[in-house]
Structure 1
Amino acid sequence: MASSDPVYLRVVEDLRRQIIDSTLPPGAPIPSRVQLTQRYGVGETAARHALRVLAQEGLIVGRVGAGHYVRERPVLMPLQRSRLHDQQTAFTADMQAQGRHASWDWRSELVEAPPEIARRLKLREWEQVMRTRFVLRGDGRPLQLATSYEPAEFSRGQALPAEGSNGRKGLAARMAAAGMPITTASEEVYIRVPRPEESDRLELPSGTHVLHLERTHWSGDRPVETSDIIVPGDKFRLCYNIPVASA
Structure 2
Amino acid sequence: MTRKPRYLWLADQLRTPILRGEMPPGTRLPSRTRLARTYRVSEQISRTALRLLVTEGLVEARPGSGYYVRDVPDVFRLCRTDATSGSGLGRLSREPFGTEQEIGEHPINERLRMREGEPVYRTTSRGLAEGRPLTLHRSWEPASLTVGTLRTPFDSAPEVGLLERLASAGYPVDRVVEEVGVRVLRDSEAALLDSAPGITVLVVERTHFSGDRPVETSDLIGSADQCRLLYKLTLARPRPRGRA
TM-score bracket for the superposition, by shorter chain length: 0.7 to 0.9
Give the letter aligned to residue 16 of structure 1. Answer: R
- Alpha-carbon spacing, 1:64–1:4, altered in 2? closer, same or farther (3 Å): closer
Deviations 1:57-98 (A, max 9, x none): 3220134665322223334222211142342xx43xx22xxx
Alpha-carbon distance in structure 2 between the residues aligned to 1:51 and 1:200 = 28
Alignment of 1:20-31 (within 5 A): 20=19, 22=21, 24-31=23-30
TM-score (norm 2): 0.77
The answer for the alignment partner of 1:173 in structure 2 is 164
* 1:16 positional shift: 3.5
The answer for the alignment partner of 1:11 in structure 2 is 10
The answer for the alignment partner of 1:84 in structure 2 is 84
Task: Give the alignment's Cα RMSD to 1 decimal.
Answer: 3.5
- Alpha-carbon spacing, 1:53–1:198, altered in 2? closer, same or farther (3 Å): farther
Alpha-carbon distance in structure 2 between the residues aligned to 1:56 and 1:218 = 38
Give the letter aligned to residue 58 of structure 1. Answer: G
Alpha-carbon distance in structure 1 between the residues aligned to 2:146 and 2:159 = 11
Aligned length: 235
* 1:160 positional shift: 6.6
1:141 to 128, 132, 146: 132
Deviations 1:149-175 (A, max 9, x none): 10111242257749xx97584312321
- Alpha-carbon spacing, 1:38–1:166, altered in 2? closer, same or farther (3 Å): farther
- Alpha-carbon spacing, 1:122–1:55, altered in 2? closer, same or farther (3 Å): same
* 1:141 positional shift: 1.3
The answer for the alignment partner of 1:71 in structure 2 is 70
Identity of aligned residues (%): 39
Alignment of 1:223-238 (within 5 A): 223-238=214-229
Give the letter aligned to residue 105 of structure 1. Answer: P
- Alpha-carbon spacing, 1:55–1:206, altered in 2? closer, same or farther (3 Å): farther
Give the letter aligned to residue 84 of structure 1. Answer: T
Deviations 1:131-164 (A, max 9, x none): 22222223311121111010111242257749xx
Alpha-carbon distance in structure 1 between the residues aligned to 2:197 and 2:107 = 29
Q: Which runs of 5+ in 2 are unaligned?
A: 240-244
TM-score (norm 1): 0.76
Give the letter aligned to residue 85 of structure 2. Answer: H
Secondary structure of the residue aligned to 2:236 is: coil
Contact 2:96–2:126 (Cα < 8 Å) also in 1: yes
Contact 1:143–1:231 (Cα < 8 Å) also in 2: yes
The answer for the alignment partner of 1:51 in structure 2 is 50
* 1:229 positional shift: 0.5
Q: Which runs of 5+ in 1 are unaligned?
A: none
Alpha-carbon distance in structure 2 between the residues aligned to 1:166 and 1:65 = 52
Secondary structure of the residue aligned to 1:115 is: coil
2:145 to 154, 157, 169: 154
